[in-house]
Amino acid sequence: MFQLSIADLSQCLARRECSSVELARLFLERIRTLNPGLNAVITLDEERTLAAAAAADRRIAAGESGPLTGIPILHKDIFLAKGWRTTCGSRMLENFIAPYDAHVVEKLDAAGMVNLGKTNMDEFAMGSSNETSWFGPVRNPWRLSAVPGGSSGGSASAVAARLAPCATGTDTGGSIRQPAALTGICGLKPTYGVASRYGMIAFASSLDQAGPMAKTAQDLALMLNAMAGFDARDSTSLEREPEDYTRELTRPIKGLRIGLPKEFFAEGVQPAVTKAVEAAIAQYRALGAEIVEVSLPNMGLSIPVYYVLAPAEASSNLARFDGVRYGHRAAEYTDLTDMYERTRAEGFGAEVRRRIMIGTYVLSHGYYDAYYIKAQRVRRLIAADFAAAFERCDVIMGPTSPTTAFELGSRTDDPVQMYLCDIYTIAVNLAGLPGLSIPAGFDAAGLPVGLQLIGDYFSEARLLNVAHQFQLASDWHVTMPSSFAA
């Protein structure tokens, strides 16, 4: 049962082969027994969960259900869910109870999804290994000594271990796609503005985007149908006609032009990753796709650009955590400045403090033009590279991450090494494009490899179609870590 996709579970519910309450109990039980070894889920509220499941069952009984009604879901702890503790992986919000629902949570609730709990994450979504969380690192179900990637590492690990059929994530520089790749699941970062950011704790506002994480591309499409949509409370949310993201799933991909940027197959990619990605592309060719070589000449600048812009925005976004109105406040202090300093020194971890300092520096008088303005200029060049590439192809493919999951602690002393994890994902956020990671094989040690698909603006339905067609012809996505299969 826990292996089933959302689409299959939905069938079971519709046929009354199981109830939503039974599903909720099943996954809560798996979380209870399996989560202690993973630390993927950090907040449970069984009573609320079962009440939501019972409500979903009533909707199903009344014939008022949709494809997501009664399906359990985990939410990344960056989304506010009313009445639930919402920590963002930080001591700063260790005891913060959300007084309202994020738009995405509201919409998934309205679709009848049952909130199972909140997932661990890198503190304020700053990290690529889920080791910066105040609640401790998350482990990768494929190998417990390895990281699950980050920052949506808890969501990824939980879905990979089948603690839930699906989860929400957010992606600022690869935080959905990279952990999806490292844990062998699917994760989609939509076009910037497709899902509202209201109620999603801001890291870097111009890059943050919510997206679905699940076992199959089809499930991502079902979830995105509920998550997407205009929200007047987010000025960057896009006012567009609602679309059905499942509408193109069955379309044949014959004639699809796949762009392969040479920059994606450069030095630093593990051979096993290149091999799996090449094999996947060969499979696409067999399905009738054409290969086009494209170039993204400024992609190499995406990491430096990102590490100017994201910390700049973060340094300002995180200023509200000052100990005055909510969240952590130092127990003792001598005056206002001392209160600020102690509160923020205690409440934020090392990586968050580092990025706040970088961001403060690049926005400072005399440095702003050299860093922030220049980075914005390069950001436009990166977007222009993609625009040029999409003149010649329908979808860009390459590895999601240069490596498979690495060992816990192996990169924590070297932030730059850690930042390189996102070398293939960051440019997509800078350009605001949709990107998708799907499982495409394993390395020799049995760790998953992710294939990244990047589309033009608003091409989510096509990306999901391209991913779904691959999944019809492969079984990487249904393979799960054996120690969690019992």
Tell me whether residue 230 is exposed, middle or buried, using C-beta atoms within 10 angstroms of its C-beta: 0 to 12, 13 to 18, 19 or more: middle
DSSP 205: T
**175 is annotated as an active-site residue:** yes
Catalytic residue among 10, 133, 151, 155: 151
Q: Is 431 in the site for another protein (CB under 8 A)?
A: no
The token pair at 140 is 């990768």
Contact between residue 14 and residue 65 where contact means Cβ atoms under 8 Å apart: yes
Q: Write the CB contacts of 299 (distance below 8 Å, at least 6 apart in sequence).
A: 261, 263, 264, 382, 385, 427
What is the enclosing helix (H) or strand (E) of 317?
helix 302-317
Catalytic residue among 19, 76, 129, 189: 76
Q: Is 233 in the site for another protein (CB under 8 A)?
A: yes
Q: How far apart are CA 365 and CA 357, in angstroms?
A: 14
Pick one of 23, 42, 159, 204: the residue that binds another protein (CB under 8 A): 204
Contact between residue 360 and residue 410 where contact means Cβ atoms under 8 Å apart: no
Question: Where do the H-state alpha helices sit in 166-216?
Answer: 177-183
**Per-residue x/- mask for another protein, residues 79 to 118, rule CB under 8 A?**
xx-----x-x----x--x--xx-x----------------
Q: Write the CB contacts of 188 (distance below 8 Å, at least 6 apart in sequence).
A: 176, 211, 212, 213, 220, 224, 434, 435, 436, 460, 463, 464
Q: How far apart are CA 66 and CA 70, in angstroms?
A: 9
Pick one of 198, 284, 457, 470: the residue that binds another protein (CB under 8 A): 198
| Near another protein in 259-278, by CB under 8 A | none
Q: How far is the CB of 324 from another protein (least distance, A)?
A: 5
| Near another protein in 170-189, by CB under 8 A | none
- Select 204 or 464, whichever has its Cβ closest to another protein: 204
- Select 96 or 406, whichever has its Cβ closest to another protein: 96
In sign, the C-alpha dihedral spanning 22, 28, 33, 37 is positive
Beta bridge partners of 454: 396, 435
**Tokens 């009313």 found at:** 82
Q: Is 234 in the site for another protein (CB under 8 A)?
A: yes
Q: Write the CB contacts of 106 (distance below 8 Å, at least 6 apart in sequence).
A: 199
Contact between residue 430 and residue 386 where contact means Cβ atoms under 8 Å apart: no
Of 402, 437, 398, nearest to 171 (Cα)? 437
- Select 204 or 463, whichever has its Cβ closest to another protein: 204
DSSP 290: E
- Select 238 or 260, whichever has its Cβ closest to another protein: 238
Pick one of 368, 381, 392, 407: the residue that binds another protein (CB under 8 A): 368
Tell me whether residue 64 is exposed, middle or buried, using C-beta atoms within 10 angstroms of its C-beta: 0 to 12, 13 to 18, 19 or more: exposed
How many residues bind to another protein according to rule CB under 8 A? 43
- Select 287 or 363, whichever has its Cβ closest to another protein: 363
Q: How far is the CB of 319 from another protein (least distance, A)?
A: 2
Q: Is 382 in the site for another protein (CB under 8 A)?
A: no
The token pair at 485 is 């299969």
Q: Is 202 in the site for another protein (CB under 8 A)?
A: yes
Pick one of 63, 235, 242, 271: the residue that binds another protein (CB under 8 A): 235
- Select 67 or 169, whichever has its Cβ closest to another protein: 169
Other C-beta atoms lying within 10 Å of the C-beta of residue 51: 14
Q: How far is the CB of 73 from another protein (least distance, A)?
A: 18
**275 is annotated as an active-site residue:** no
**5 is annotated as an active-site residue:** no
Q: How far apart are CA 76 and CA 167, in angstroms?
A: 7
Q: How far is the CB of 245 from another protein (least distance, A)?
A: 24
Q: How far is the CB of 203 from another protein (least distance, A)?
A: 11
**Per-residue x/- mask for another protein, residues 150 to 169, rule CB under 8 A?**
--------------------
Pick one of 43, 283, 360, 479: the residue that binds another protein (CB under 8 A): 360
**Per-residue x/- mask for another protein, residues 303 to 342, rule CB under 8 A?**
---------xx-xx-xxxxx-xxx---------x---x--
Q: Which residues are catalytic?
A: 76, 151, 175
Binding positions for another protein, rule: CB under 8 A: 79-80, 86, 88, 93, 96, 99-100, 102, 197-202, 204-206, 232-236, 312-313, 315-316, 318-322, 324-326, 336, 340, 360, 363-365, 368, 372
